[in-house]
Chain A
Amino acid sequence: DAKTTQPNSMESNEEEPVHLPCNHSTISGTDYIHWYRQLPSQGPEYVIHGLTSNVNNRMASLAIAEDRKSSTLILHRATLRDAAVYYCILRDKGGSEKLVFGKGTKLTVNP
């Protein structure tokens, strides 16, 4: 599984947008980019995933660079409930049966 690099921590204010970056310079053409988050004392939960095009869902947006060597998870209006560790994960198109978690980015949301 290819590696990803994320900042250890980020801070945001409530109701402001948050842009969480992820670098994956060794990504292969068949790797999907997945994002999960882990709220305190809970299991990880799926946020979004994409291959080449930007993706939107009710939780967030995923912006993927044209060369696919980086991506950004966008929370349009952060709430206190969004405080969590966010993980950027690469998964092969063939569907490697496991998620390989890195250290993630700990997001703090200030009221």
Chain B
Amino acid sequence: DTAVSQTPKYLVTQMGNDKSIKCEQNLGHDTMYWYKQDSKKFLKIMFSYNNKELIINETVPNRFSPKSPDKAHLNLHINSLELGDSAVYFCASSPREPNTEAFFGQGTRLTVV
């Protein structure tokens, strides 16, 4: 069983479209994250949710809207996609306790054409 699973793995879409990426974790963790890895391979946090509540929003454009229907799911919806949104998006989760291991999904490679 995959601990943190993301769908789809690959997503190719045109500029201006709206798309969603789904993330599910079966580890019982309270905290979930979205990270973005750009073409230069820098990994940057976008959002963090703790038990369905947004706790970190790293100055991400409001075209990006995370949604957590329950603590096992954190989906990422992106409106009006732009070329610069092309990247690999990683979902992650960790327990509430500080300084514990975070588990990452396999990533979703988004290409905007």
A residues near B (Cβ < 8 Å) are 32, 34, 36, 38, 41-46, 49, 85, 87, 91-101, 103
Give residues in B with beta carbon < 8 Å to A: 4, 31, 33, 41-45, 48, 50, 55-56, 58, 90, 92, 97-107
In terms of DSSP, what is the predominant structure of the interface of chain A? loop
Additional A-B contacts beyond A36-B102, A49-B101, A99-B102 (7; CB < 8 A): A42-B107, A85-B41, A95-B99, A96-B98, A97-B31, A97-B55, A101-B43
Q: Find the B residue at minimum CB distance from A31.
A: B99
Residue of B nearest to A47 (CB): B101
CA gap between A25 and B63 in the complex, in Å: 38
Q: What residues of B have a CB within 8 angstroms of the CB of A93 in the complex? A: 98-99
The 8 Å CB contact of A103, one of B33, B42, B104, B107, is B42
User: Which residue from chain A places its CB closest to the CB of B103 in the assembled complex?
Assistant: A46
